């Protein structure tokens, strides 16, 4: 079984630098990481031919890097501002598939030129924009892949640019890409102890806990993602209910003074009211009065809109109790 309580700093590729950043997200153990769930998914299920892309689309394209260059520029300082201009790097790449070519642009990431040399095949995912020099992909996420085969690129193992790509709650220094980088390797060997009996899972159509955690991070479809989230939500509600039952059991073991129901006293009080009780008020009052007869403390929450009569119900219980306590 997977050790869910392994400190996050013990995980490969975390270390002392990123551990405090993860802590800010509430991620201190392996379980915290696996239960740090996506807030949404970017759908890159379909690989789009470059000739078919259009502005404002979020797309996945795959092709060959035929040209890539990086240049440094010094932005002009605004008049009246002192200090030294900070150098900016712009990396331009031309990506080509069998249908056409498109430019990809990255800012202040000069290392990309070494990671995506000319001749490399890449999978890119990002937003298509248009400018004075035409259509381009703005700072797309990238992954190296193998060469084309009949215009079909390999997708096995892609975690940032293909399929339903999870987007997580982030903090400074911790991006969704980094979180995917941490989570994806853990899922292949994930083995979790499932507290829910198999017959309950079958009844509700839920996957096992292991499959639910895998599917919630990297689902094969929107439907599977929805089912996985429902399974994890079911676990939360089940644990909450179990805790409530345990608290009730502890409450029932305490001792209390039984308050016998005094029908004549209660009817007299109700008759003195300048209005007639509603059906719901009568039911609430009756259930509270029956609770007061028990040998252990009452544990009940009464709720209702403003003006629904909560106070008068509480007064009935107080009126029933006061004479008994004064004896």
- Give 281-325 pLDDT, tens digit per residue: 999 999 999 999 998 888 888 888 998 989 999 999 999 888 654
Residue 205 CA, distance from chain mean position: 21
**DSSP secondary structure string, 76-125?**
PPPTT--S-PPPEEEEEEEEE-SS-EEEEEEES-TTHHHHS-TT-EEEEE
DSSP 277: P
- Of the candidate CATH numbers 3.40.50.300, 3.40.50.740, 3.40.50.1970, 2.40.50.140, the domain formed by 43-165 belongs to 2.40.50.140
Q: With contact defined as beta carbons under 8 Å apart, do 148 and 97 qualify?
A: yes
Q: Which residues contact 144 (CB under 8 A, 6 or more apart)?
A: 115, 116, 120, 121, 122, 123
The percent of residues in the chain predicted with pLDDT above 90, rounded, is: 73
Rounded to an integer, what distance in angstroms lies between the CA atom of residue 149 and that of residue 116? 20
The structure's pTM equals: 0.74
pLDDT in tens, 162-217: 999 999 999 999 999 999 999 999 999 999 999 999 999 999 999 999 999 999 99
Judged by DSSP in three states, 164 sits in strand
* pLDDT for the residue 152: 52
Q: How far is 183 from 201, CA to CA, in rounded Å? A: 25
pLDDT of residue 160: 93
CB 136 within 8 A of CB 61: no
């Amino acid at each position: 079984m997977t050790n869910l309580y392994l400190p996050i700093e013990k995980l490969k590729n975390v270390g002392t630098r990123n551990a405090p950043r993860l802590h800010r997200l509430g991620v201190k153990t392996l379980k915290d990481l696996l239960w740090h769930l996506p807030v949404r998914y970017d759908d890159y299920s379909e690989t789009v031919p470059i000739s078919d892309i259009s502005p404002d689309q979020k797309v996945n394209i795959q092709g060959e890097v035929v040209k890539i260059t990086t240049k440094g520029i010094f932005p002009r300082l605004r008049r009246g501002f002192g200090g030294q201009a900070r150098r900016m790097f712009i990396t331009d790449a031309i990506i080509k598939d069998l249908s056409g070519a498109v430019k990809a642009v990255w800012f202040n990431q000069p290392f990309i030129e070494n990671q995506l040399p000319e001749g490399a095949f890449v999978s890119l995912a990002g937003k298509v924009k248009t400018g004075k020099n035409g259509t381009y992909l703005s700072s797309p996420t990238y992954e190296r892949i193998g060469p084309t085969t009949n215009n079909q690129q390999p997708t096995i193992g892609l975690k940032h640019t293909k399929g339903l790509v999870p987007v997580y709650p982030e903090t400074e220094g911790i991006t969704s890409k980094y979180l995917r980088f941490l989570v994806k390797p853990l899922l292949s060997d994930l083995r979790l102890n499932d507290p829910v009996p198999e017959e309950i899972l079958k009844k509700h159509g839920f996957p096992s806990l292991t499959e639910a955690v895998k599917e919630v991070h990297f689902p094969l479809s929107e439907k599977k993602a929805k089912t996985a989230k429902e399974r994890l939500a079911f676990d939360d509600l089940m644990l909450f209910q179990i805790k409530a039952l345990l608290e009730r059991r502890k409450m029932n073991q305490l001792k209390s003074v039984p308050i016998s129901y005094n029908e004549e006293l209660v009817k007299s009080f109700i008759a003195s009211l300048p209005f007639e009780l509603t059906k719901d008020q009568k039911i609430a009052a009756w259930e509270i009065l029956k609770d007061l007869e028990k040998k252990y403390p009452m544990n009940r929450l009464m709720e209702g809109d403003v003006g629904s009569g909560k106070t008068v119900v509480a007064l009935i219980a107080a009126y029933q109790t006061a004479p008994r306590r004064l004896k």
